[in-house]
């Protein structure tokens, strides 16, 4: 059974035409970035913890707070996240 995500998470795509299996990595990253607790539960229930972990660890970009949250959820250190490593390699400008 497909999860029933809040439509506000996918405000920029055609929600009705979304392929849950072909776009799994995009969906998982977006749910963790913009979803609430119930959306994340449905995501983990539908895709399974292995698929969710792989998608989050290999995401090219996640906001910093989402990386910390995902690290706690899947119980993996920050330095295993691809997006965290990329963030370290490309530091932001020093804020004055």
Two tokens, residue 62: 């996640």
**Region at 90 (left for phi over 0; alpha for psi -120 to 50; beta for the rest):** beta
Mean pLDDT of all residues in 5-17: 89
- Which of 48 and 94 is assigned the larger pLDDT? 48
Distance (Å, whole) CA 51 – CA 49: 6
Place of tokens 């977006």: 30
State the pTM of this model: 0.88
Angle at 65 between CA 44 and CA 4, to 5 degrees: 30
For the segment 47-83, what is each residue's pLDDT rounded down to a tens digit? 999 999 999 999 999 999 999 999 999 999 999 999 9
């Amino acid at each position: 059974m497909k999860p029933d995500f809040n439509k506000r998470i996918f405000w920029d795509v055609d929600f009705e035409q979304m392929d849950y299996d072909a776009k799994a990595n995009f969906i998982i990253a977006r749910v963790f970035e913009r979803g609430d607790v119930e959306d994340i539960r449905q995501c983990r229930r539908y895709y399974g913890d292995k698929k969710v972990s792989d998608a989050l660890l290999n995401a090219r970009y996640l906001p910093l707070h989402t990386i910390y949250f995902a690290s706690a959820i899947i119980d993996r250190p920050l330095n295993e996240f691809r997006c965290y490593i990329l963030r370290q390699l490309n530091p932001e400008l020093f804020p004055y």
